[in-house]
Structure 1
Amino acid sequence: MDLTTAWFLIIAFLWIGYFFLEGFDFGVGMLLPVLGRDDVRRRVVINTIGPVWDGNEVWFIVAGASMFAAFPEWYATLFSGFYLPLLLILLALIVRGVAFEYRGKRDDARWRARWDRAIFWGSVLPAFLWGVAFANIVRGVPLDADHEYAGTLLDLLNPYALLGGLTTLTLFVLHGAVFIALKTTGNVRLHARSVARVAAVAALVVAGSFLLVTQTQYGKSWTWLAVAGVAAGLAGAAAANARGREGWAFIGTGTAVVLAFVTLFGSLFPDVMPSTTTAANSLTTQNAASSAYTLEIMTWVALVFTPIVMIYQGWTYWVFRKRIGTAQIPAAKAAKSGKTGRPGEPATRKSPIG
């Protein structure tokens, strides 16, 4: 395996890790108005990701930085041609992060309601637009001889890409519902399980349709295994959720998210940005890559620091592994206190997350 192929696999791993982790973050944000019937329940829902959401976003930063360093032509074409969708994603992520930190700073119901809406829309937009972006990457876009995007915004809003956006949206809603059920107790847990039952059907229909189109038009022979794995993961998640086995259900939804993007990256390789005008204009792992010396240095850096980051993040999840319920957020204390170290964190220090 040469270094260009190795770095394609590393970047695919980083993006897949991002969507596995941030996928349930987006799902939690999108389900906030559904499961958060009052302020205490909303705080329970937010606290399920309170200690980890910002760490999950690090994967996005590292994936983007790795693309810039390993495949600068890919990075330049992607971030210039997809400028508006990616700008909307970045703005949504910024607003969402600010909302997590600021919603509990004032004892004002309207203040919190505004930030809760920001969390919702700051989760919906990236969940949908990431699917649109990656579907277009696999499908291909108009590129000229200089590998520059030669299309318009409307070219990106084609039916296949919109179906890709709905796929990530429904998968992340299901992933988030199962995660909330896994991390909560009482009525919030039961409500999350009921939402997951409905979301599983929607995800199976939408994701199944999108991946079948992807496989028949762009897929490789081996990616049929990944498509089958997505179906098995969703079916297993639905069955486990019905039995109250949230841990197994989360493994199922996580498997579906991972294998859905394995299908996309597998269908894309060895291209990194196919051209719909002529194949000669396509960007590949060879003509989009940095020099061999740059890739060699990056490989040593990745070998040293990637395990450290993964161990630290795994430790964080282990520390904050306990379930949380409304009992950990007394309404009276929550209303009086404006001190929170994490987004929506309970005022009491007896909370399992803080």
Structure 2
Amino acid sequence: MELTTVWFLLIAVLWTGYFVLEGFDFGVGILLPVLGRDEADRRTVLASIGPVWDGNEVWLLVAGGATFAAFPEWYATLFSGFYVPLFLILVALILRGVAIEYRNKSDSTRGWDRAMFFGSLLPAFLWGVAFANIVRGVPLDADHEYTGSLLTLLNPYALLGGLATLVLFVLHGALFLALRTTGDLRARAVSLAGKAGLAALAVGGAFLVITQLTAGRPATWVSAALAAAGIAGALAATRRGRDGRAFAANAVAIVAVTVTLFGNLWPDVMPALDPAHSLTVENASSSPYTLTVMTWVAVVFTPLVLAYQGWTYWVFRRRLTGSGT
């Protein structure tokens, strides 16, 4: 297997890890004003992601860095053409991080809670918009420069993709809270997960069907079907009180959605509306020497990062009570 293909797969894995782990962070942040009826509840909701949220964001940093090093043409075209939505995502992530760290140091928490809500809502929606446009294709010229506008990115298909990731992450957050909390807060999270699951099946199913009919491949029909089965399995497990299985099933659904998108993308990394101008794993990649060095670095350090993050989740695996402990 060529190193360009290897790094395309590694970047897909990094985005998959980011969506699975940061996805429930986004969902928890969005659900903060919905499930947090009083200050004790809100503290518990935030405590559920307190030890892990910053580690989950590392996946995004590594995915961006890997894209810059392995496919610089892809990175340049993506970050210039998608500048506004990516800038909004960056601002939202900064606001969310500040809100988590400084909420308990302020006399008034209302402003920080709003920052947490919108700092989670915007990325959850805009990541879907961005990836829907990447799979659909964007206007590029012969020099691989983006020639569209912001309105070009806000097409109906991309907006549907944004809604799909939004409801999927809300479901993921509700299932995570059901897994990590007890009592009335858990009961409300379970109830909301049932409603969010039905919405995810409807909106996400519509998005994946349109994706498969317009840009799909035979193999990715399997992953699209697995995504639907994962959400349905999460709903079934939730009704039986199997919180861990429900969360795992929805994680499988997120993995399957990401596999569907990247599977339909390859060998392109940034399809153009004119196929002759598309960026591929070949014409967007770095030199073989750069890819070789990066591969050895990844082989050495990736297991260490995974082991550390796995240890963190193991240490903070206990359910939280209403006091946030």
Q: Does 1:227 align with 2:256?
A: no
- Larger Cα Rg: Structure 1 or Structure 2? 1
Q: After superposition, where does 1:129-278 map in structure 2 within 5 Å?
A: 129-276=126-273, 278=274
- With normalisation by structure 1, the TM-score equals 0.91
Distance (Å, rounded) in 2 between the aligned partners of 1:259 and 1:230: 5
Q: Does 1:289 align with 2:285?
A: yes
Distance (Å, rounded) in 2 between the aligned partners of 1:220 and 1:314: 34
> As a proportion of its length, which structure holds more helix?
2
- With normalisation by structure 2, the TM-score equals 0.99
Residue number among 308, 320, 325 corresponding to 2:321 in the alignment: 325
Amino acid in structure 2 at the alignment position of 1:293: Y
Residue number among 293, 299, 304 corresponding to 1:303 in the alignment: 299
Distance (Å, rounded) in 2 between the aligned partners of 1:114 and 1:10: 39
Amino acid in structure 2 at the alignment position of 1:101: E
Distance (Å, rounded) in 1 between the aligned partners of 2:121 and 2:194: 20
Deviations along 1:205-247, one digit per CA (max 9) or x if unpaired, are 0000000011111111100110110111011000000111100
Give the aligned length.
325
Amino acid in structure 2 at the alignment position of 1:54: D
Distance (Å, rounded) in 2 between the aligned partners of 1:308 and 1:38: 40
Deviations along 1:249-301, one digit per CA (max 9) or x if unpaired, are 0011101111001100000000000111x211100000000000000000000
Paired-residue identity, %: 67
User: Residue 104 of structure 2 corresponds to which residue in structure 1?
Assistant: 104
Distance (Å, rounded) in 2 between the aligned partners of 1:52 and 1:303: 24
Distance (Å, rounded) in 2 between the aligned partners of 1:219 and 1:302: 30
Q: Which 5+ residue runs of structure 1 have no aligned equivalent?
A: 330-345
SS state of the match for residue 48, structure 1?
helix
Distance (Å, rounded) in 2 between the aligned partners of 1:249 and 1:74: 36
Q: Give the C-alpha shift of residue 150 in structure 1.
A: 0.5
Distance (Å, rounded) in 2 between the aligned partners of 1:198 and 1:118: 25
Q: Give the C-alpha shift of residue 325 in structure 1.
A: 1.2
Deviations along 1:93-120, one digit per CA (max 9) or x if unpaired, are 00000000010003x2xx2111001000
Distance (Å, rounded) in 1 between the aligned partners of 2:12 and 2:238: 29
User: Residue 49 of structure 2 corresponds to which residue in structure 1?
Assistant: 49
SS state of the match for residue 222, structure 1?
helix
Q: Which 5+ residue runs of structure 2 have no aligned equivalent?
A: none
User: Residue 23 of structure 2 corresponds to which residue in structure 1?
Assistant: 23
